[in-house]
């Protein structure tokens, strides 16, 4: 490259006369430069390039070292650089709002009135992202999933718009928190599926209607994983500041939940008064709930440059880490004031226990594998599961995870469908360097979870399955009538996707397709999809008239990803996915 020519092209600047000395100096320099050999010039250029690169790295690398909780937790924040595309290139890796806006008349231009580009926040360094785009379905199976999503969305739009959940049979809605859960939970699914119209109407609703200033008690965990997680995920994909502003408003209202004597949050909080409290039915918080908010609050701190959110949740994780456990296994209740586990509470990988284990691993991944105690606690807990909870049924020998009751004394051969998230999480761990034997366990659990579907005439899993360990009857699996419902849950589909991602074994796609067809056959109704009360009877599945937001957020999203022919449609080396299937960026530390 002819550097001289380039320089001269750009250094045509008229300067005032008092600078004429400088002009002379510049001329001398030019003369001196022209006398140098080609080799000498290249040498000088190399030195200058090295100096420039070093200076750039030092300036942008470490703007702030935040000490968290006085415990040597260091977060490296760097100034947000809107122009630099090498570090921030993940923002270019998906279709931005720009892409969608251009094909969608009426949506304000990004950078327009409602977007404040002047905000100078800090953001933690992100590793480079691959270039890919969410440009819509490419396989026939993906197209079928998108069709299902559109069907669900149409019913929701017609009868429940702005409310939490659709009641598709009575053509009504239900409100849990009054936060338009289905819309917020669906935003990133819509984005990933490349649905432009739906994105526009959902975004408009969030911008104009989503209001957190309501006199309403909400559950910290549920609102965090669904609403805060949903807003953050779509913010990262779309780069639209409006979503981040909404996330900040919500998180500021949730933050007083952590004002307990111990720092363990109360389970509920009023969004207007910001007064937290324990659940009405118990003095305790659920262990999985207080430990499944960290990815979201940390991500918000990294996105805004304000460490207060991360400080609050990091403290919770550290308190949990210090508590005594049963080989890494935790009771499902914890008191916010004492900061102690309820010692007689059950130990389970199902309801109220499940995602404690999930977020140990995922927090470690989110922070660039830099917080070792999280990984160590995860590994210890898997050993604990193998030692205390893992059994094999008779006669066929299905490996399952049971529960310990009474503070760990009595074993119950009961497994919630919720537990079927674990094989996927184990595979994610192995992908990130954790012990290979975890993959064997994941494989065994996949077979068992699949059986909970296969063995029902509807080909849909019940909420809870019991396993035969005494040989008292000829079947390995047993479902009580009170447990025979299916809420359109995602956990097994989620694991199918993770397993497919890491093994490339198309069997997982085939299993997923069969389950999708069963959803189509037994849960699809005129105005959407419905939970059913009985997976054991094809003649009467007892529709429950409820479409949960996680059906759109998780179940359909994981199916869409599972049926993709692009193995990196969502790259698990770049994103960590929260408990409600909302992808968040992985950081370097």
> Which residues are catalytically annotated?
222, 354, 463, 491
CA distance 104 to 81: 28
**Binding to ligand DMJ by residue 355, rule CB under 6 A?**
yes
Identity of the residue, 284 or 354, whose beta carbon is nearer to ligand DMJ in the bound complex: 354
Report helix angle 354-366 to 294-304, nearest 10.
Answer: 30
Residues 401-430 that bind ligand DMJ (CB under 6 A): 418
Q: What DSSP element (H or E) covers 392? A: strand 390-392
Identity of the residue, 260 or 292, whose beta carbon is nearer to ligand DMJ in the bound complex: 292
CB of 293 to ligand DMJ, least distance (A): 11
Identity of the residue, 289 or 574, whose beta carbon is nearer to ligand DMJ in the bound complex: 289
Identity of the residue, 88 or 494, whose beta carbon is nearer to ligand DMJ in the bound complex: 494
Residues in binding contact with ligand DMJ, number by CB under 6 A:
8
Identified binder of ligand DMJ from the candidate list 236, 438, 489, 587, rule CB under 6 A? 489
**Binding to ligand DMJ by residue 186, rule CB under 6 A?**
no
**Phi and psi (nearest 5°) for 471?**
80, 20
CB of 350 to ligand DMJ, least distance (A): 10
CB of 581 to ligand DMJ, least distance (A): 7
CB of 418 to ligand DMJ, least distance (A): 6
Identified binder of ligand DMJ from the candidate list 388, 580, 582, 587, rule CB under 6 A? 580
Other beta carbons within 10 angstroms of residue 34's beta carbon come to 9
DSSP-assigned states of every residue in 18-76: GGHHHHHHHHHHHHHHHHS-HHHHHHHHHHHHHHHHHHHHHHHH-SEEEEETTTTEEEE
* Site map (CB under 6 A) of ligand DMJ, residues 544-573, x = contact: ------x---x-------------------
Identified binder of ligand DMJ from the candidate list 233, 304, 452, 579, rule CB under 6 A? 579
CB of 351 to ligand DMJ, least distance (A): 8
**Binding to ligand DMJ by residue 352, rule CB under 6 A?**
no
Burial 104-135 (b: 16+ CB within 10 A, else e): eeebbebeeeebeeeeeebbbbbeebeebebe
Burial 372-390 (b: 16+ CB within 10 A, else e): eebbebbbebbebbeebbb
**Binding to ligand DMJ by residue 495, rule CB under 6 A?**
no
- Give the residue closest to ligand DMJ by C-beta: 579
Identity of the residue, 198 or 554, whose beta carbon is nearer to ligand DMJ in the bound complex: 554
**Binding to ligand DMJ by residue 490, rule CB under 6 A?**
yes
Residue 327 zone, left/alpha/beta (φ > 0; ψ -120 to 50; rest): left
Give residues with Cβ within 8 angstroms of 345, minimum separation 6.
284, 287, 331, 332, 333, 407
Identity of the residue, 77 or 529, whose beta carbon is nearer to ligand DMJ in the bound complex: 529
Which residues of the chain form contacts with ligand DMJ (CB under 6 A)?
355, 418, 489-490, 550, 554, 579-580
């Amino acid at each position: 490259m002819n550097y001289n020519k380039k320089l001269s092209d750009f250094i045509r600047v008229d300067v005032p006369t008092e600078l004429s000395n400088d002009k002379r100096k510049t001329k001398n320099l030019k003369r001196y430069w022209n006398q140098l050999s080609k080799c000498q010039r290249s040498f000088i250029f190399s030195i200058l390039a090295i100096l420039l690169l070093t200076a750039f790295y030092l300036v942008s690398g470490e703007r702030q070292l935040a000490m968290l909780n006085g415990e040597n937790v260091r977060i490296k924040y760097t100034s947000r650089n809107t122009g630099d595309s090498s570090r921030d290139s993940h923002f270019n890796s998906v279709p931005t709002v720009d892409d969608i806006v251009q094909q969608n008349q009426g949506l304000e231009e990004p950078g327009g009135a409602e977007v404040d580009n002047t905000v100078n926040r800090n953001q933690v360094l992100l590793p480079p992202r691959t270039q890919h785009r969410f440009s819509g379905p490419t396989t026939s199976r993906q197209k079928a999933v998108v069709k299902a999503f559109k069907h669900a969305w149409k019913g929701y739009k017609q009868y429940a718009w702005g409310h939490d959940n659709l009641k598709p049979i009575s053509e009504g809605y239900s409100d849990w928190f009054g936060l338009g859960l289905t819309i917020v939970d669906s935003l990133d699914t819509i984005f990933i599926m490349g649905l432009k119209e739906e994105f526009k109407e959902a975004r408009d609703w969030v911008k104009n209607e989503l209001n957190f200033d309501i006199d309403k008690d909400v559950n910290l965990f549920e609102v965090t994983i669904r609403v805060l997680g949903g807003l953050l995920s779509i913010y990262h994909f779309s780069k639209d500041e409006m979503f981040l502003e909404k996330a900040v408003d919500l998180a500021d209202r949730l933050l007083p939940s952590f004002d307990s004597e111990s720092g363990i949050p109360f389970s509920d909080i009023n969004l207007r008064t910001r007064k937290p409290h324990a659940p009405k039915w118990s003095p305790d918080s659920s262990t999985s709930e207080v430990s499944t908010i960290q990815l979201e609050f940390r991500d918000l701190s990294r996105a805004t440059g304000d460490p207060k959110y991360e400080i609050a949740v990091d403290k919770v994780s550290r308190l949990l880490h210090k508590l005594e456990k049963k080989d890494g296994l935790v009771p499902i209740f914890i008191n916010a004031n004492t900061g102690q586990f309820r010692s007689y509470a059950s130990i389970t990988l199902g309801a109220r226990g499940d995602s404690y284990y999930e977020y140990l691993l995922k927090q470690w991944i989110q922070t660039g594998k830099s917080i070792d105690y999280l990984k160590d606690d995860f590994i210890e807990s898997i050993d604990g599961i193998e030692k205390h909870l893992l059994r094999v049924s008779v006669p066929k020998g299905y490996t399952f995870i049971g529960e310990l009751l009474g503070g760990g004394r009595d074993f119950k051969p009961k497994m919630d469908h919720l537990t079927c998230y674990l094989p996927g999480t184990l595979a994610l761990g192995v992908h990130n360097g954790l012990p290979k034997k975890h993959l064997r366990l994941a494989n065994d659990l996949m077979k068992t979870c699949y059986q909970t579907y296969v063995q029902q005439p509807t080909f849909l899993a019940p909420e809870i399955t019991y396993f035969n360990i005494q040989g008292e009857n000829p079947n390995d699996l047993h479902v009580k009538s009170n447990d025979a419902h299916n809420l359109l849950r995602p956990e097994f589909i989620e694991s199918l996707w993770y397993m497919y991602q890491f093994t490339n074994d198309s069997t997982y796609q085939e299993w997923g397709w069969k389950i999708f067809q069963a959803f189509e056959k037994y849960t699809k109704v005129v105005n959407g999809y419905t939970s059913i009360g009985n997976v054991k009877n094809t003649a009467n599945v007892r529709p429950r008239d409820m479409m949960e937001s996680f059906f759109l957020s998780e179940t359909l999203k994981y199916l869409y990803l599972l049926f993709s022919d692009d193995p990196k449609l969502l790259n698990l080396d770049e994103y960590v996915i929260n408990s409600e299937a909302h992808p968040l960026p992985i950081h370097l530390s």
